[in-house]
Amino acid sequence: MAPALPRRRLLQAALFATATPAFSYAAGGGSAAAATLPAPSAWTLRPFELKDVKVGQGVFAAKRQLMLDHGRGYDVNRLLQVFRANAGLSTGGAVAPGGWEGLDGEANGNLRGHYTGHFLTMLSQAYASTGDQVYADKIRTMTGALTDVRAALRKDPAVLSATGRFGTAAENVRGSYQYVSLPAAVLNGSATITLSAWVKPTHGANWTRVFDFGNNNTRYMYLAARNASGVPRFAISTNGPGGEQGLNGTAALPLNQWSHLAVTISGSTGTLYVNGTSVAQNTSMTLNPSSLGALTNNWLGRSNFDDPVFAGVYDEFNVWSRALTAAEITSLQSNRAAASSAGRGTLASYTFDETTGGTFADASGRGLTATLRRTWGGPSHAGFLAAYPETQFIDLESRTSPDYTKVWAPYYTAHKILKGLLDAYLATDDARALDLASGMCDWMYSRLSKLPEATLQRMWGIFSSGEFGGIVETIVDLYSINGKAEHLALARLFDLDKLIDACAANTDTLDGLHANQHIPIFTGLIRLYDATGEARYLTAAKNFWGMVVPHRMYGIGGTSTAEFWKARGVVAGTISDTTAESCCAYNLLKLSRMLFFHEQDPKYMDYYERALYNQVLGSKQDKADAEKPLVTYFIGLTPGHVRDYTPKQGTTCCEGTGMESATKYQDSVYFKKADGSALYVNLYSPTTLAWAEKGVTVTQSTDYPREQGSTLTFGGGSAAFELRLRVPSWATSGFRVTVNGSAVSGTPVAGSYFAVSRTWRSGDVVKVAIPFRARVEKALDDPGLQTLFYGPVNLVARNSGTSYLQFGLFRNAALSGDLLPSLSPVSGKPLHYTLNGTEFAPFSEGTEDPTHAYFRRSEPKVVFGGTDSGVTNPAKADGTTFLDEVWAGAPFSSKAALVSRVQSTVNSWVSAGLLGQADGRQVVTTAQNASYQS
């Protein structure tokens, strides 16, 4: 991989010398989709903006409305809570979402902030699609808050004033990583001492410190609000935890209530007071503050160990160089120290009356001003924006192994935030969003450009920790707007050369890789090709797609098991409860779409239809919910699996991409040629396209896939172009097109586009007939394990059994090879059928019914047209049965053609000793006497 480094550096130099901005932007407000991404010149096709394609009533509209309602009603201040807390700003009492977003979620919320980015993208797409101002208002609220957050992170922390026990107080928001640092002289070497504090804890984490005075985790003196048993603990040690002399309380401090804590040490006696009452005493103490010597870390709220920062409010912290009496401590319960019999602390006295700034005055007369600090210092660059400290990014640079409790994909999270901001800008033309996005890229470049090539390659190769999602694609998109050379150079710093070079050489190395860590890498490579012309990027993306589809693809279009890929061609062998991660389908759709912009191979849109109409639709529950988007993480394909629409306590990556998917269903229905000479109709979906450059509208009226076809009506003016209608690969016969009632000549070919070229005028009507047929798709590694399709629709059995069901489908097969006659339609339920008493329904229906996506094919007897020959259906060593081989010849033009196929197959199997002559004659006779549908 050695040539990669010089190539990058040379490119950087060239870019810095020649780059010019490609786009200018407005300075404020605006309307829906006020800004657009420039289309790459390498794209032979161009997409339409979401605002140009309106969604009509149908399966997509119903699912979308559920998500639109969720986005409309959700309080975005909950999403902003983690950002505001990280910056030390008031959270306004907002409660962060659960799951991966909150500090109490998986891995302590080390992915927090990612969901906010998803939500911004969802709102942006919702606004672009509907023009509803409520979404723009939410976007601007979020953009404004994130602008405030970045500004706060650029500065030293400032006091967050709150109502105190007596007056004002200082709040330490959970998640702020803030604490108060006291000068080194605070204890003054005193042997006798009293420490007193009013605190109002807001979270019950164990081992958070009210104070901790020490040098390290060997020499210290602390008061914890809660120990492992949940009660206050004071301890002093010169020999670490094993040498602690301590005092333990008897009851937990209540949350969100004021409590007074005091510790006295005099001679060999230490006493702990809670709310004026002595709760613990140790008369055998040999240590006191003077035993510790000079201490460097004198902290309120922070631990000398790796413990959580205290979350709560402080009012009055006093230190005396004597042991207060019980009466004096009692007097502190109802008065400020200055008004009590104890008086102010003689060593230090802080009232926390400050309402601005980052320092606290000492009223003891010793002038020991305290300072508010962050545990992690501060950002390395003014463009930094995140919902957690920069420490994850720093750690990753030296990390050699994964540990998501320490580092959980920081650049992945950065991508989601960056993408959300860019989408917010494109939707609302709010320059603040663009400035935030540009600043994030400036910050990333300032870090990554300083790292050696070997470090970058190691980072991006670490599972999970090094995952960066679609960040490259988004950075290049931003570059296409601002033309900033450093941003294109930044995008190339994410090159994972080992993977790129293997895929460019068409060498499949995917076995064992984390699927969704790698799929979006290739959307970024396509955009890098667009920006640089480097062919290996596009070649790698094309080859990679072919390694996944169909070799690692389930029938619904999904991929991965337990988030990982297995060996090429292993499908049945990977089916589990954790197959088909929803993010994988989301990213494969993006990749297919982008590849199609470069090369109009219909296989990309065939895949798009498969995954969109099955996994993506089926991943969204058909139910309203104000709290959660109700989207699956995994879709188990094991027998009897019940989909989980509230995975991992919520706010996962898949719920995020699920929100995005449900607000952009229309993004690939239509494409246009770059020169405007053709309109591609990729999907049959009730939509209305407004093609502004041509001055025409195209309205699709259809209930597809409940309807086997679509009607396209033209409006507006007249325009000459070629209408290219996708002929699905499964549409093997009967695809027909009429224009204004007249049949269009030509022979449609399955897996291609059928072209109609003319000058289109308002009122022109195109009707497309797309006859469906039922068929099966076999698992690549186990042909007997199959899944059932009717046209584009995957039909799944609803059954609570947990073993593979067995079904036969040839008994009433039509001459066309259509297996549908073997199933019985369910009255009043479109696309629902029964077979042997089991109901089959579209996978896309978001129910909680137990389903069987795959079943075991069982054809024990040779049956034709419902007539049983009485002959056992023999099989070859590879599992191929006699009936499999007969029906592989479908479609048949006539009954005679079928009988001829039966006769030739009998002859072959009899000759091979697989079928007896008498049985063969009986099979042929049965085929001759049976009746068939066409």
pLDDT of 7 reads 41
| 552 within 8 A of 566, measured Cβ to Cβ | yes
Q: In the predicted model, what is the mean pLDDT of residues 729-740? A: 97
What is the spatial distance between Cα 245 and Cα 243, in angstroms, rounded to a whole number? 7
Taking CA 659 as the corner, what is the angle to CA 655 and CA 660, rounded to the nearest 5 degrees?
A: 120
Burial profile 487-520: b = 16 or more Cβ within 10 angstroms, e = fewer? bbbbbbbbbbbebbbbbbeeebebeebbbbbbbb
Residue 100 banded pLDDT, cuts 50, 70, 90: very high
Residue 905 banded pLDDT, cuts 50, 70, 90: very high
Mean of pLDDT over the chain: 95
Which residues, at least 6 apart from 657, have a Cβ–Cβ distance to it below 8 Å?
118, 582, 583, 586, 587
CB atoms within 10 A of CB 588: 27
pLDDT greater than 70 at residue 24: no
Specify the range with the lowest mean pLDDT, choosing from 12-26, 46-60, 433-447, 716-730: 12-26
Q: Report CA-CA distances (Å) from 323 to 259, 264, 927.
A: 20, 5, 105
pLDDT of 35 reads 82
What is the spatial distance between Cα 462 and Cα 499, in angstroms, rounded to a whole number? 13
Q: Of 264, 273, 265, whose CA–CA distance to 330 is shortest?
A: 273
**DSSP state string for 704-756:** TTSSSEEEEEEEES-EEEEEEEEE-TT--S--EEEETTEEPPS---TTEEEEE
What is the spatial distance between Cα 651 and Cα 413, in angstroms, rounded to a whole number? 13
CB atoms within 10 A of CB 327: 10
**Per-residue model confidence as pLDDT tens digits over 136-150:** 999 999 999 999 999
Q: In the predicted model, what is the mean pLDDT of residues 870-891? A: 95
Three-state SS for 338-395 is: HHCCCCCCCCEEECCCCCCCCEECCCCCCCCCEEEEECCCCCCCCCCCCCCCCHHHHH
Residue 649 banded pLDDT, cuts 50, 70, 90: confident
| 316 within 8 A of 350, measured Cβ to Cβ | yes
pLDDT of 667 reads 98
**Per-residue model confidence as pLDDT tens digits over 775-828:** 999 999 999 999 999 999 999 999 999 999 999 999 999 999 999 999 999 999
Q: Report CA-CA distances (Å) from 95 to 173, 364, 672.
A: 12, 38, 45
**Per-residue model confidence as pLDDT tens digits over 482-525:** 999 999 999 999 999 999 999 999 999 999 999 999 999 999 99
pLDDT greater than 90 at residue 652: yes
Share of the chain above pLDDT 70, in %: 96
* Domain boundaries of the chain, sorted by first residue: 4-149+381-661, 178-374, 670-704+709-769, 859-934
What is the spatial distance between Cα 869 and Cα 824, in angstroms, rounded to a whole number? 22
What one-character DSSP code corresponds to residue 203? Answer: -
| 561 within 8 A of 576, measured Cβ to Cβ | yes
pLDDT of 809 reads 98
Residue 213 falls in which region: left (phi positive, over 0), alpha (psi -120 to 50) or beta: beta
pLDDT greater than 90 at residue 28: no
**Per-residue model confidence as pLDDT tens digits over 242-287:** 999 999 999 999 999 999 999 999 999 999 999 999 999 999 999 9
pLDDT of 769 reads 98
Burial profile 460-471: b = 16 or more Cβ within 10 angstroms, e = fewer? bebbbbbbbbbb
pLDDT of 48 reads 98
Rg (alpha carbons) of the chain, rounded to whole number? 34
pLDDT greater than 80 at residue 20: no
What is the spatial distance between Cα 75 and Cα 80, in angstroms, rounded to a whole number? 9
User: How far is it between the farthest Cα atoms of the chain?
Assistant: 114
What is the spatial distance between Cα 810 and Cα 819, in angstroms, rounded to a whole number? 7
- CA 444 vs. chain centroid, Å, equals 21
pLDDT of 91 reads 96
Q: In the predicted model, what is the mean pLDDT of residues 195-206? A: 97
Residue 386 banded pLDDT, cuts 50, 70, 90: very high
Residue 34 banded pLDDT, cuts 50, 70, 90: low
What is the spatial distance between Cα 835 and Cα 858, in angstroms, rounded to a whole number? 13
Which residues, at least 6 apart from 908, have a Cβ–Cβ distance to it below 8 Å?
none
For residue 56, which amino acid is it?
A: G
What topology is assigned to 178-374 in CATH? Jelly Rolls (2.60.120)
What is the spatial distance between Cα 549 and Cα 559, in angstroms, rounded to a whole number? 9
| 263 within 8 A of 234, measured Cβ to Cβ | yes
pLDDT greater than 60 at residue 907: yes
Residue 105 banded pLDDT, cuts 50, 70, 90: confident
Give the tokens for residue 548. 């996944």
pLDDT greater than 70 at residue 17: no
Residue 26 banded pLDDT, cuts 50, 70, 90: very low
Residue 22 banded pLDDT, cuts 50, 70, 90: very low
pLDDT of 278 reads 98
C-alpha dihedral, 615 to 618 to 624 to 629, nearest 10°: -20
Place of tokens 């229309």: 666
φ, ψ for residue 924 (rounded to 5)? -65, -40
What topology is assigned to 4-149+381-661 in CATH? Glycosyltransferase (1.50.10)
Q: In the predicted model, what is the mean pLDDT of residues 584-589? A: 98
What is the spatial distance between Cα 256 and Cα 154, in angstroms, rounded to a whole number? 30
pLDDT greater than 70 at residue 32: no
- Please state which architecture CATH assigns to domain 670-704+709-769: Sandwich (2.60)
pLDDT greater than 60 at residue 73: yes
